[in-house]
Structure 1
């Protein structure tokens, strides 16, 4: 083992210990907000349910538009249309990233009833900054509980963690399917694009948070990490990533595209599940609308049996 590997391992163990120590001190907060009885026992008594997770980084509205980017007033048609199209035939939970308050308002208004959301702005825990909201149909799902955690040393307060350029959050909900009675935990996040340490520690923090839930837990987001990077590898040790563990895989190869066709692409958007959860299908969806891309990311969907 080389010196570099030894140092890296020591740093990772130190970070993991720090995160676990902090969370053990905050244990009552995490359990009080996420756990609601024996979810696993309740689900075992019910017939299997197929559930879809839909995740999409929609690209925040920004005056400094990227090359090839259309204004949000045009892009929103595609964003809303894709959610509608892919949530018609199966109970669906939607996790979005890079969503400003005005964009969230547009999406909820465009989707119409019975859509609702849970989430807060990352800058103030209310409406400022980007949301990582979770959307659901109120005639399909009951929101049992919801909470936002900041990825960092002070998860209960708006803050930047480690070497992150911006505050980063994970939105956590416990959802009950109205018709079947099935209960699942769903987390949606967006890792920092600059801070390598922040991304790695965010994975540790989220795994620790998920370990305090019972029953099936599903995680989605823009992880700003490719498969070979530590943040992804840390998650893969504890969870199933849907593109690697599914019965059926279809659609495109990569998720991050930019707005110009024919440019370089990569995969940094993923969906994860508690190990042992049957993953029926994984798909990366076309995001072209009226001749242009509605975002610089493609949506990703996965269908589970819970």
Structure 2
């Protein structure tokens, strides 16, 4: 059975009612970023062993918006089948069809999708390829969502920066913030930066850009819970700095933030811990 720390469960459910699936107040949007680890048969636990627990974890938390990293197309299909309340968008990084994706899932009852697009982290973002000192192609997945109740528009960008190339990481971060915001939208950037706080990509994403300003949800939350480390290498003992982040428009109130260290009999669900934040946009004028 999934072992959730009582304090964490209480904190995260406080704004959502008495059950795990209770609807959050209309003004609260729960967002989640999760590097789910690609389907590597040599992993222990491997994807088939981890998948039911990962699905149960997502169902329990019921995020309104979820950005995943390292999700191969068949993994996205399996998640989509197991999460019928969600729609998703994401393209394979290799050629638009195959390879890992930075897929975004969103609650279809709550949001209407206005647009969706994929960029590659390169000087030619409209076609597959890698650039700079990157070891692999990297994508920026973008969806624009309108809240059906509040009419709030969210411009969501989900990323997984290169693990080997520092120049590529910074260039991709600058590419993310160089993309102009959708009119009247609040920016939300989710993902695995493969970089520590105060690194060049972090600085690019946590400051002023052309027409908007972003902040780190972890550092600006009214209530924060969990360890700083987000990469665990399949070990509960690993410590360190975060490399997974949620960046939000500076006008957004971050009510809660957590790094979730759920495990099954001492085995973690992925080699990254998911992170989750409850956001409250300013009142509409």
Q: Distance in 2 between matches of 1:73 and 1:291?
A: 17
User: Which structure dedicates a bigger proportion of its chain to helix?
Assistant: 1
With normalisation by structure 1, the TM-score equals 0.78
Q: How far is 1:213 from its partner?
A: 5.3
With normalisation by structure 2, the TM-score equals 0.84
After superposition, the C-alpha distances for 1:41-83 in whole angstroms (9 at most, x for unaligned) are xxxxxx9821111110000011343xxx311111111211111
After superposition, the C-alpha distances for 1:82-109 in whole angstroms (9 at most, x for unaligned) are 111111xxx6100000001111111111
Task: Please tell me whether residue 234 in structure 1 is matched to residue 201 in structure 2.
Answer: no
Q: Distance in 1 between matches of 2:26 and 2:77?
A: 34
Out of 37, 47, 54, the position equivalent to 2:32 is 54
The alignment partner of 2:67 has SS state of strand
Q: How far is 1:210 from its partner?
A: 4.2
Q: Distance in 2 between matches of 1:250 and 1:263?
A: 17
Q: How far is 1:298 from its partner?
A: 0.5
The alignment partner of 1:244 has SS state of helix
- Residue in structure 2 matched with residue 124 of structure 1 by the alignment: 95
Superposed CA RMSD: 1.8
- Residue in structure 2 matched with residue 95 of structure 1 by the alignment: 67
- Residue in structure 1 matched with residue 13 of structure 2 by the alignment: none
After superposition, the C-alpha distances for 1:157-205 in whole angstroms (9 at most, x for unaligned) are 0010211000001111110112222211111110000000000111111
Change beyond 3 A, Cα 1:141–1:107: same
Q: How far is 1:116 from its partner?
A: 1.6
The range that moved more, 259-268 or 136-145, is: 259-268
- Residue in structure 1 matched with residue 232 of structure 2 by the alignment: 257
Q: Which has the larger radius of gyration?
A: 1
CA contact (8 A) 1:287 1:295 kept: no
Gaps of 5+ in 2: 1-24, 209-213
Trace 1:133-282 onto structure 2 (pairs within 5 A).
Answer: 133-211=103-181, 214-238=184-208, 239-282=214-257
Number of aligned positions between the proteins:
252
Which of the pair has the greater relative contact order for Cα pairs under 8 Å at 6+ separation? 1
CA contact (8 A) 2:236 2:266 kept: no
The alignment partner of 1:74 has SS state of helix
